[in-house]
């Protein structure tokens, strides 16, 4: 086991039983320990993220553009996971509004049920009226708007990049397997049909194993049991164990995929072209890891949350004199309405910031598995079109089975 003399870090080639964890705070990190404990159970808003893993079809887009969509969205307001997550700050603002009404009724005046105005019980004391001018909120609203716009744009940008990474994975798996099935040189290498099916099936499973390992790598710990079951159901036990025991599972799966490509009988230049797709897989994995491990700078998101929270807490005092209803009672529902949608904007950015638990990653993996499994049975010429076979993929020499005669210029080029 080699080790570095200037450091206590050592590197071992022995298999590790290390189980990956998605816990935020582990020993040896530079992050501050949380002052508040992790919740013992997931909130409704957190659990509802699983219902946002949507893949649209044409029928879904028709519903999405339906003329009655505004009424449908309004009817589901109280079932929204986004609004459930902001219930506490909204109730805080409503509480300030109710407290302001009661305080001013005691300190200034109130109106009874017959519409008669009476002085407050503390009107003759030095208890002041609670209210603020609207000017400070007007002046700072533009700054708050800029903070929220940047926050939501950044959150959507992270979601968009994660979705593009998975889209590139899907495209590259199709591209890789298309080339492998078309370039498999069973004629030049003299392999049997059974061997061709075995090699391409191994490549298909290795391709699926990488994307499934990537999905597990980017998912919470509750995906571990399903991941293990799928690996043992689809892969040989030894290959499944090697992936599960690896410290970085997607890297191990990508190594297996590279080995499966090297075992294919084809020209080395064509193999190099297949390896280009693997490099793109590595790039997509690294980009996704960066998104998962690096949030929007915490000082920015925390400052935005504090700004919004205290701004909203002070708003009922500024709006108090704007309502001439009975004892200013309409201040309460209006503050609930405004705070719900103001806090909702920040909550949308917060939900988009970590995109992997709202992306349909399992559906992507299942589709990749189905598409690769289908292409295993494809071979050049199975649709009746003429195919040129070559005896050796390294020198491109034509065999007697060539279906189309070569021109003089083509022979010269070959």
Give 238-278 pLDDT, tens digit per residue: 999 999 999 999 999 999 999 999 999 998 999 999 999 89
- Helix, strand, or coil here: 409? helix
Burial track 160-188 (b if 16+ CB lie within 10 A, e otherwise): eebeebbebbeebbbebbebbbebbbbbb
Q: What span, in angstroms and rounded, lies between the C-alpha atoms of 30 and 27? A: 9
E strands, 205-285, are none
Are 289 and 232 a contacting pair, CB within 8 Å? no
Which helix (DSSP H) or strand (DSSP E) does residue 118 occupy?
Answer: strand 117-119
Q: What percent of the chain has pLDDT over 90?
A: 60
The per-residue pLDDT for 406 is 41
> Could you report the per-residue pLDDT of 144-187, keeping only the tens digit for each?
999 999 999 999 999 999 999 999 999 999 999 999 999 998 87
Burial track 97-127 (b if 16+ CB lie within 10 A, e otherwise): beebbebbbbbbebeeeeeeeeebeeeeeee
Tell me: pLDDT of 404 over 50: no
Burial track 214-247 (b if 16+ CB lie within 10 A, e otherwise): bbbbbbeeebbeebeebbeebbeeebbebbbebe
Tell me: pLDDT of 16 over 50: no
Are 278 and 255 a contacting pair, CB within 8 Å? no
The per-residue pLDDT for 312 is 97
Are 286 and 129 a contacting pair, CB within 8 Å? no
The per-residue pLDDT for 13 is 42
Tell me: pLDDT of 392 over 60: no
Burial track 317-330 (b if 16+ CB lie within 10 A, e otherwise): bbbbeebeeebbeb
The per-residue pLDDT for 40 is 59
Q: What span, in angstroms and rounded, lies between the C-alpha atoms of 46 and 351? A: 9
Are 329 and 110 a contacting pair, CB within 8 Å? no
Bigger pLDDT: 325 vs 206? 206
Residues facing 109 on adjacent strands: 119
Are 94 and 335 a contacting pair, CB within 8 Å? yes
The per-residue pLDDT for 34 is 56
Which helix (DSSP H) or strand (DSSP E) does residue 176 occupy?
Answer: helix 135-183
| Across 359-380, average pLDDT | 92
| Across 19-26, average pLDDT | 46
Lowest mean pLDDT among 26-40, 259-273, 397-411: 397-411
The per-residue pLDDT for 414 is 44
| Phi, psi (deg, nearest 5) at residue 398 | -75, 145
Q: What span, in angstroms and rounded, lies between the C-alpha atoms of 152 and 347? A: 9
Q: What percent of the chain has pLDDT over 70?
A: 81
Q: 11-20: which pairs have CB atoms within 8 A and are 24 or more residues apart? A: 15/242, 15/245, 16/245, 16/246, 16/247, 17/245, 18/247, 19/224, 20/217, 20/247, 20/249
> Could you report the per-residue pLDDT of 70-114, keeping only the tens digit for each?
998 899 888 888 898 999 999 999 999 999 999 999 988 888 888
CA 268 to chain centre: 36
Tell me: pLDDT of 33 over 60: no
Tell me: pLDDT of 17 over 50: no
Are 366 and 233 a contacting pair, CB within 8 Å? no
Q: CA 92 → CA 77, 86, 132, 343, 347, distances in Å?
A: 19, 10, 18, 12, 16
Mean pLDDT of the chain: 84
Tell me: pLDDT of 209 over 50: yes
> Could you report the per-residue pLDDT of 310-364, keeping only the tens digit for each?
999 999 999 999 998 898 999 999 999 999 999 999 999 999 999 999 999 999 9
């Amino acid at each position: 086991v080699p080790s570095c003399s200037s450091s206590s870090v050592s590197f071992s080639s022995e298999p590790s039983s290390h189980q990956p964890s998605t816990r935020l705070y582990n020993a040896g990190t530079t992050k501050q320990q949380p002052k508040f404990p992790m919740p013992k159970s997931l909130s409704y808003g957190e659990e509802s993220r699983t219902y946002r893993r949507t893949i649209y079809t044409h029928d879904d887009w028709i519903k999405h553009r339906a003329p009655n969509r505004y009424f449908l969205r309004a009817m589901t307001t109280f079932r929204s996971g986004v609004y459930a997550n902001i219930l506490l700050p909204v109730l805080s603002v409503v509480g300030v509004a109710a407290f302001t009404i009661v305080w001013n009724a005691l300190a200034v005046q109130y109106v009874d049920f017959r519409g008669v105005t009476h002085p407050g019980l503390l009107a003759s004391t030095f208890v002041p009226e609670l209210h603020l001018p609207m000017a400070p909120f007007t002046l700072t609203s533009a700054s708050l708007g800029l903070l929220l716009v940047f926050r939501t744009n950044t959150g959507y940008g992270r979601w968009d990049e994660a979705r593009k990474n998975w889209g590139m994975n899907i495209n590259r798996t199709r591209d890789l397997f298309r080339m492998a099935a078309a370039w498999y040189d069973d004629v030049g290498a003299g392999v049997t049909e059974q061997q061709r099916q075995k090699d391409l099936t191994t490549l298909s499973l290795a391709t699926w194993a990488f994307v499934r390992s990537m999905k597990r790598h980017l998912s919470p710990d509750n995906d571990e049991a399903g991941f293990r079951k799928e690996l043992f159901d689809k892969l040989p036990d030894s290959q499944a164990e090697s992936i599960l025991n690896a410290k970085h599972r997607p890297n191990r799966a990508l190594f297996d995929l590279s080995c499966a490509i090297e075992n294919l009988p084809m020209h080395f230049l064509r193999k190099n072209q297949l390896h280009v797709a693997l490099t793109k897989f590595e790039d997509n994995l690294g980009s996704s890891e960066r998104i998962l491990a690096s949030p929007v700078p915490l000082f920015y998101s925390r400052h935005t949350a504090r700004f919004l929270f205290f701004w909203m807490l002070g708003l009922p005092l500024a709006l108090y004199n704007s309502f001439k209803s009975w004892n200013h009672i309409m201040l309460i529902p209006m503050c609930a309405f405004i705070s719900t949608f103001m806090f909702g904007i920040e909550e949308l950015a917060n939900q988009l910031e970590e995109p992997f638990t709202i992306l349909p990653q399992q559906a992507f993996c299942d589709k990749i598995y189905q598409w690769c499994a289908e292409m295993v049975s494809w071979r050049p010429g199975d649709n009746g079109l003429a195919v040129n076979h070559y005896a050796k993929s390294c020198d491109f020499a034509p065999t007697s089975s060539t279906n189309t005669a070569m021109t003089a210029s083509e022979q010269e080029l070959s």
